[in-house]
Amino acid sequence: MDLEQIYARIWASLARAAAEKNQPFKTMQAATIGLDGAPNVRTVVLRSVSEPRGEIIFHTDLRSPKIVELSREPRIALVGVDPVHNLQIRVTGRAEVVRSGPERLEAWQSSPDHTLTVYRTTLAPGTPIQHPDEAFDANPASAGEEATGFDHFCVVKVRVDSLDWLEHSKNDHHERARFYREGERWSQGWIAP
């Protein structure tokens, strides 16, 4: 593959991951800089991808620690792996937390209901509890009450600054390429694996 083909394959892989079930890169690990300066990393689900806008999107809880971290330092890094094809995609960018407006509403309305139940709990993510049942009881739905969870829901848009592709081949002919955004243009090159 040449560099243009790899660039296209990265975006196609991410778009497929966002659109379909059980795809590699459906979940990626997203790293932020913690308030104490130490790295923090967690799994997120890719929800939407746009190559023309150079953007990838995940959803999260406004109360979660990563939101405080991103509000202080919007730089973010994500990594995902396709273990069948020995591929790694790394992404860096800047995160924008969308807390209101039509984009957030549209994301909420187009999400399957089972993905939204996590937003209904009255416990902020990371709250210490005595027993896992406490988290279940904190879901108003379990008490038969109405609560959509929408107040806790937000969209995180990552404007991508760089992409890093690594393919480990079985015959040791590994290939690694990096793509950088320069304004609206992308520059590209091979790098040592």
Ligand X SMILES: Cc1cc2nc3c(=O)[nH]c(=O)nc-3n(C[C@H](O)[C@H](O)[C@H](O)COP(=O)(O)O)c2cc1C
Does position 44 interact with ligand X (CB under 6 A)? The reply is: yes
Q: How far apart are CA 179 and CA 51, in angstroms?
A: 13
Question: What's the min distance (Å) between Cβ of 65 and ligand X?
Answer: 4
Interacting residues with ligand X between 66 and 95 (CB under 6 A): 66
String of DSSP letters for 2-15: -HHHHHHHHHHHHH
Place of tokens 């040592």: 192
Does position 27 interact with ligand X (CB under 6 A)? The reply is: yes
Token couple for 147: 């609560």
What are the φ/ψ torsions at residue 16 (nearest 5 degrees)?
A: -65, -40
Stretch that binds ligand X, among 2-10, 37-45, 127-135, 162-170 (CB under 6 A): 37-45
Among 31, 49, 57, 59, indicate the residue that binds ligand X (CB under 6 A).
Answer: 59
Among 65, 94, 111, 180, indicate the residue that binds ligand X (CB under 6 A).
Answer: 65
What spatial distance separates the first Cα and last Cα of the chain, rounded to whole Å? Answer: 16
For residue 107, give the amino acid letter.
A
Nearest in space to 58 (alpha carbons), one of 22, 97, 3:
97
Does position 25 interact with ligand X (CB under 6 A)? The reply is: no
Does position 64 interact with ligand X (CB under 6 A)? The reply is: yes
Q: Are 140 and 146 in contact (CB under 8 A)?
A: yes
Question: What's the min distance (Å) between Cβ of 191 and ligand X?
Answer: 29
Does position 23 interact with ligand X (CB under 6 A)? The reply is: no
Contacts 24+ apart (CB under 8 A), 79-82: 79/28, 79/29, 79/31, 80/17, 80/24, 80/25, 80/27, 80/28, 80/29, 81/24, 81/25, 82/13, 82/24, 82/25
Question: What's the min distance (Å) between Cβ of 115 and ligand X?
Answer: 8
Question: What's the min distance (Å) between Cβ of 46 and ligand X?
Answer: 8
Question: What's the min distance (Å) between Cβ of 88 and ligand X?
Answer: 18
Interacting residues with ligand X between 115 and 154 (CB under 6 A): 125-126
Among 1, 42, 122, 190, indicate the residue that binds ligand X (CB under 6 A).
Answer: 42
Among 19, 35, 43, 122, indicate the residue that binds ligand X (CB under 6 A).
Answer: 43
Residues that bind ligand X (CB under 6 A): 27, 40, 42-45, 58-61, 64-66, 125-126
